[in-house]
Amino acid sequence: MELIILLLITIAIFLGILIPIICVQKKYKRFVLKNSLAIKKIVEINSKYYFNNIEKFNLYHVYDNVNYFNVITCYDYLVYQLVFIQKKVNRALVDTLQNRKAYRTYSNEIKESCVWNEYGDVKPLANKKWLSKLEQSLFKKKILAPQIVFSIYVKLILTNINGVHQYSKSEIFFPEDIKYILVKLNQRRGSFFSDNKIWDSICRVERGKVSNRMRFSIYKRDNYRCQICGRSTNYLEIDHIIPISKGGKSTYDNLQTLCRRCNKEKGSDLY
Domain regions of the chain by residue span: 50-115+142-195, 210-266
Closest among 238, 195, 218, 211 to 156, alpha carbons compared: 211
- For the chain, the maximum distance between any two Cα atoms, rounded to a whole number of angstroms, is 96
* Whole-number pLDDT of residue 62: 96
Strand duo 192-193 + 57-63: pairing: unpaired
Run of H or E including 58: strand 57-63
Query: Mean pLDDT of residues grouped by 10 in the chain (271 residues)?
Result: 57 46 66 85 94 95 95 98 96 97 96 85 75 87 95 96 90 96 90 88 95 94 94 90 89 94 75 42
Residues near 80 by Cβ (< 8 Å), separated by ≥ 6?
201, 202, 205, 206
CA torsion sign for 252, 253, 255, 256 is positive
Please state the φ and ψ torsions of residue 155, each to the nearest 5 degrees. -135, 125
Closest CA to 86 of 181, 174, 155, 176: 181
Strands 255-259 and 188-189: unpaired
pTM of structure? 0.81
Quick one: how far is CA 222 from the chain centroid? Answer: 39
User: SS3 of 224, please?
Assistant: coil
Q: What is the predicted pLDDT for the residue at 158?
A: 97
Helix (H, G, I), strand (E, B) or coil at 36: coil
CATH architecture under which domain 210-266 falls: Orthogonal Bundle (1.10)
Q: 134, 38 in Cβ contact below 8 A?
A: no
CA torsion through residues 70, 75, 79, 82, sign = positive
Q: What is the DSSP letter of 125?
A: P
Amino acid 57: pLDDT = 93
- Reported in sequence order, the residue ranges of 112-264 that DSSP labels E, i.e. its strands, are 152-159, 165-173, 188-189, 192-193, 236-240, 255-259
Helices (H), 36-154: 37-46, 66-71, 74-113, 128-142
Report how many helices (DSSP H) and strands (DSSP E) the chain contains, helices first.
Answer: 9, 7
Helix (H) or strand (E) holding 57: strand 57-63
